[in-house]
Chain A
Amino acid sequence: MSADPRQFKQAASQALKNPRLQTALGRIKSHFVHKRAEAVERFGAFEALRHEGHAIRDRAIANLDMLLVQFEDSVRARGGQVHWARDADEARQAVADILRQAGARTVIKGKSMVTEEIGLNDFLEREGFTPVETDLGEYIVQLRHEAPSHIIAPAFHLNKEDIAQTFREAHTGLAPERALVERSALVAEARQILRRQFESADAGITGANFLTAAEGAAVLVTNEGNGDLSRLLPRTHIVVTGIEKVVANLSEASVLLRLLTRSATGQEITSYVTIMAGPVADDAAANTATRDFHVVLIDNGRSDLLPQSLPGLWRDRWPCLWRHLSRPHRGGAQSRPDRAGRCLPPPQCLNLLRPLCGGVPGRNPPAADHAKLAGQGI
């Protein structure tokens, strides 16, 4: 099945004719839709919470430019780096550049639909890296060279016999006569294999469910704990995510978190909620190597979907950020006066924008320039 949106019609046509997939999707109704309805019922004022979430997202979209710049500043203040990517190609290159600089070869990954969107695994393999999915469902579909069939249940189209077969073909080092009948046996085997990957990987890539501008944090929900391991064990952690994930602060993210887990799996909260801010603090006894933390922020068409009135505002307030995110075909990044004829941006934000203006589009200027320019107090 193709994950390319341009092939959607053909892929949908094939999927509709796949009885096994249709049966699986039928099960999704009881697994997700009904569980969500029950969770909503238990919560009570869910509609009010949805309205609050809606308002938070509306505010975030209206202030997206400021929040993203604030987010970058907060990440830097914690010792991390932000990489701007206008499209999938720039995002893939940014990840590969970080991995090369870190001298990384094997990369463990938490489940991330944005990395599916940009085709990261295939690209990394072509570039000589070894990406390993660690979410159980993603791991299975990766072994089968398939695309995930559902965003939160990637291997939902498979039954346990399919998975046993896949494991026997992939895990050739294990005893061929082993029993792989029970689900628990499949989970134990994947756990055993993945544990070695976690321990030896050079870098970890995760997605993010939310980014918080005030704290410079990426918030991630998982039920398997693989997101935490992907962040904590390797020396380098890269968060790959879209620009639309940013909200003002953790308090706002917590409202969205309540909505997200109930709506996705009907859970009050997922088994793990990880707040990832800056490089992991080293435990001197266990690991004395320096850790690094990167966030790759991807536009890849998202800013095309901003309300019609916003792109103008972006150009007015943040001409340099606009240039970072707008792709060449969009035309010039000419600033223009706002409706009242004033020329913005607000001066107190220029410190943040200066380093962006000086950089190559899509790349970060050196941190030293940032400090120097900020020091000028313009």
Chain B
Amino acid sequence: MSGKERHVGLFVTCLVDLLRPEIGFATARLLEMAGCTVVVPSAQTCCGQPAWNAGADDHARALARQTIDAFAGLDYVVAPSGSCAGTIKRHYPTMLADDAAYAAKARDLADRTYELSAFLVRICGMNDLAARTNTKITYHDSCSSLRDLGVRNEPRALLAQIAGTELCELSDGEVCCGFGGMFSAKYPEISTHMADNKLADVESTGAEMLVGNDLGCLMHLEARAKHQKRNLRVRHIAEFLCEAMPEPDTGKV
């Protein structure tokens, strides 16, 4: 894309929009730092993942078509979430395979869609954030990032650019935290038990902060940690990176 500006559509995601908009602003800031022109289409809604996972296929397809239309014409679509990006990238083409009008559009959108850290590292080649912190952190790989998108090295490549960050890896980093979207609503007891296992693993690393790229997992773990009165800070990777920047301007007005 050299010589041409990247027009990036920011897919905000439901959870970020409604519960932690700071992550959206931090994402926009990082994308602009990487030289992108950020557009936030106002017609965007939920990507349809909960409906798809619940078997409400027609509702999921309606949302998928709406998302495809909302992000038409942009070079890229970036989401601060492996889960929503994974839905668009991995599942839209399957969802709409038999839709004559949208099958090709779904494949095209899938090709243009990225999870934030993957986009910053793979497409923008971000390699010098020139930021500093003094924090011992651990990183939680969400299942969708790891399994749907194969994103593992990219967030670590970004974290490594923040001087003073000590990354202590979890001993069972590939294990689900128990959130699992609909799973947490259907099986709250198992979900909570898995969160407790994850938090015990976090504690054994000695990290003071848990960083991840999916707000679903992070909220699940943060709420459980608060309930247990654990002294653990939880940040989305976009927040963590922006907080470490010299000017902590998250774009809020």
Chain A positions near chain B (C-beta within 8 angstroms): 9, 12-13, 16, 29, 33, 309
Q: Is the CB of A16 within 8 A of B172?
A: no
Main SS class of interface, B: loop
What per-residue 1/0 map shows which CB atoms of B190-213 lie under 8 Å from chain A? Answer: 100100000000000000000000
- Which residues of the other chain, A, contact B98 by a CB distance below 8 angstroms? 309
Q: Is the CB of A13 within 8 A of B189?
A: yes
Main SS class of interface, A: helix
Beyond A12-B190, A16-B193, A309-B98: 9 further Cβ-contacts under 8 Å? A9-B187, A12-B187, A12-B189, A13-B189, A16-B189, A16-B190, A29-B172, A33-B172, A309-B97
Residue in B closest to A8 when the chains form the complex, CB atoms:
B187
- Which residues of the other chain, A, contact B193 by a CB distance below 8 angstroms? 16
What per-residue 1/0 map shows which CB atoms of B91-114 lie under 8 Å from chain A? Answer: 000000110000000000000000
- Which residues of the other chain, A, contact B187 by a CB distance below 8 angstroms? 9, 12
> Among residues 182 to 237 in chain B, which have CB atoms less than 8 Å away from a CB atom of chain A?
187, 189-190, 193
- Which residues of the other chain, A, contact B189 by a CB distance below 8 angstroms? 12-13, 16
CB A198 to nearest CB in B, in angstroms, measures 39
Assembled-state Cα–Cα distance A33/B175 (Å): 10
CB B160 to nearest CB in A, in angstroms, measures 23
Assembled-state Cα–Cα distance A29/B172 (Å): 9
CB B199 to nearest CB in A, in angstroms, measures 15
Assembled-state Cα–Cα distance A117/B190 (Å): 22
CB A24 to nearest CB in B, in angstroms, measures 15
Can you list 12 residue pairs at the A/B interface with Cβ under 8 Å?
A9-B187, A12-B187, A12-B189, A12-B190, A13-B189, A16-B189, A16-B190, A16-B193, A29-B172, A33-B172, A309-B97, A309-B98
- Interchain residue pairs A-B with the least CB separation, the first 7: A13-B189, A12-B190, A16-B193, A16-B189, A12-B189, A9-B187, A12-B187
CB A266 to nearest CB in B, in angstroms, measures 15
- Which residues of the other chain, B, contact A29 by a CB distance below 8 angstroms? 172
Assembled-state Cα–Cα distance A9/B183 (Å): 12
- Which residues of the other chain, A, contact B172 by a CB distance below 8 angstroms? 29, 33
CB B202 to nearest CB in A, in angstroms, measures 16
Assembled-state Cα–Cα distance A9/B190 (Å): 9
Assembled-state Cα–Cα distance A361/B189 (Å): 42
Assembled-state Cα–Cα distance A12/B187 (Å): 9
- Which residues of the other chain, B, contact A16 by a CB distance below 8 angstroms? 189-190, 193
CB B189 to nearest CB in A, in angstroms, measures 5
Assembled-state Cα–Cα distance A29/B189 (Å): 20
Assembled-state Cα–Cα distance A309/B97 (Å): 10
Assembled-state Cα–Cα distance A251/B207 (Å): 47
CB B113 to nearest CB in A, in angstroms, measures 22
